[in-house]
Amino acid sequence: MYEFIEANRSNYSLAVMCRVYGVSPRSYYSWLERGKSLRAVEDQLLLKRIVHEFDKSEQIYGSPKIYKELKKQGIAVSEKRVARLMRENGLKAKKSRIYRSRPGTQRFYTGIPNIIWNQEVTAANQVWVGDITYLKVNEEWRYLAVVLDLFSRKVIGWALGKRKSVSLTTKALRRAVKRRGLHPGLIFHSDRGIEYGAFEYRELLDTYGIRQSMNRVGVMNDNVYIESFFHQFKTERIKTKEFSSDWTLRRTIQLYMKWYNEIRSHSSIGYLSPVEYECSI
């Protein structure tokens, strides 16, 4: 009865509806306030769950991912309600600007095409992607080379060093091969930096039977998935920290890679972690 009155306030006068149903306007307003109070209590209980998931993600999840996490736990709530409560309580996901690494040389390997352009990836170990990013220890640069499986976004190899060199990228590739093995038709894609175009790297790919693919000349977003990974990594672990030693940086990377692969959800793969996604296929 009260629900009908509330739903039709814009169509009929409150006095007329109360008279028809034999209730007083005062009793209607009392019901309305009780409903608002119950909603407020429910909001507070829901907010506790939201804060728990927000802190568990180390404050990197926005409302879409928080909503998905709550849904996984069987909590019935709309994404709009989650967004409203996060907005009202100042729960804002961390963000960071992307720092793009630049090759130390402008040499382009025009003979190596982009063979993954518009190619559909339907399983693990069809396409691996790699890149290097910059990190700092005591105001000195360190370089992190990473290899991802494009299908699941899983980190399958990485190497940290003091020099941005082909020895760093080959080390990351060897670790990826050791972990995942070799697969017929496997493609490795990267930008056109000398660390990936050098003879030593190309020879190693050839030894493994891996086909090489590189960004198109002058196109910066052909390797967008690993650039996105570096952006997430720096936002979620590096931005607010200072590292006093190589050991602390390396340990931070180790812990992040494990968390990223096994726990962190990704919207592009159905809000699953890379490990969960590979197991679900």
Same domain, 136 and 83: no
Tens digits of residue pLDDT in 123-143: 999 999 999 999 999 889 999
Same domain, 83 and 209: no
> Which pLDDT value is given to residue 151?
96
Same domain, 74 and 175: no
How far CA 250 is from CA of 57, 136, 139, 144, in Å, comes to 21, 11, 16, 10
Same domain, 141 and 244: yes
Residue 246 lies in a domain: yes
How far CA 72 is from CA of 76, 82, 87, 162, in Å, comes to 10, 14, 22, 42
Residue 228 lies in a domain: yes
Query: Which percentage of the chain shows pLDDT scores above 70?
Result: 85
Same domain, 247 and 172: yes
Same domain, 74 and 172: no
Asked if the model's pLDDT at residue 114 lies above 70, the reply is yes
**Nearest CA among 206, 129, 135 for reference residue 164:** 135
Same domain, 40 and 174: no
Residue 119 lies in a domain: no
Same domain, 35 and 170: no
Residue 102 lies in a domain: no
Q: Which of 42-46, 169-173, 228-232, 266-270 has the highest mean pLDDT?
A: 169-173
At 130, is the secondary structure helix, strand, or coil?
Answer: strand
Answer with the one of 60, 88, 116 that is the final residue of a domain: 88
> Which pLDDT value is given to residue 75?
87
Interhelix angle for 199-208 vs 166-180, to 10°? 10
The average pLDDT across 212-224 equals: 82
The average pLDDT across 178-192 equals: 94
The average pLDDT across 196-212 equals: 94
Of the pLDDT bands very low, low, confident and very high (cuts 50, 70, 90), residue 95 is low
> Which pLDDT value is given to residue 223?
86
Tell me what the pLDDT averaged over the chain comes to: 85
Residue 110 lies in a domain: no
Residue 97 lies in a domain: no
Asked if the model's pLDDT at residue 104 lies above 70, the reply is no
Asked if the model's pLDDT at residue 3 lies above 90, the reply is no
Same domain, 6 and 83: yes
> What single letter denotes the amino acid at residue 155?
V
Same domain, 166 and 265: yes
The average pLDDT across 92-119 equals: 63
pTM of structure: 0.68
Of the pLDDT bands very low, low, confident and very high (cuts 50, 70, 90), residue 281 is confident
H-state helical runs in the chain: 2-7, 14-21, 25-56, 63-72, 79-88, 166-180, 194-197, 199-208, 224-233, 246-262, 274-280
Residue 96 lies in a domain: no
CATH code of the domain covering residue 169: 3.30.420.10
Same domain, 174 and 270: yes
The range of the structural domain enclosing residue 232 comes to 127-280
Residue 28 lies in a domain: yes
Tens digits of residue pLDDT in 248-268: 999 999 999 999 999 999 888
Asked if the model's pLDDT at residue 2 lies above 70, the reply is no
Answer with the one of 88, 111, 139 that is the final residue of a domain: 88
Answer with the one of 88, 119, 146 that is the final residue of a domain: 88
Region class of 59: left (phi > 0), else alpha (psi between -120 and 50), else beta = left
Q: What total of structural domains would you count in the chain?
A: 2
Same domain, 61 and 145: no
Tens digits of residue pLDDT in 21-60: 777 767 766 656 665 555 665 777 788 888 888 888 878 8
Return the number of other C-beta atoms located less than 10 Å from residue 31's C-beta: 16
Of the pLDDT bands very low, low, confident and very high (cuts 50, 70, 90), residue 192 is confident
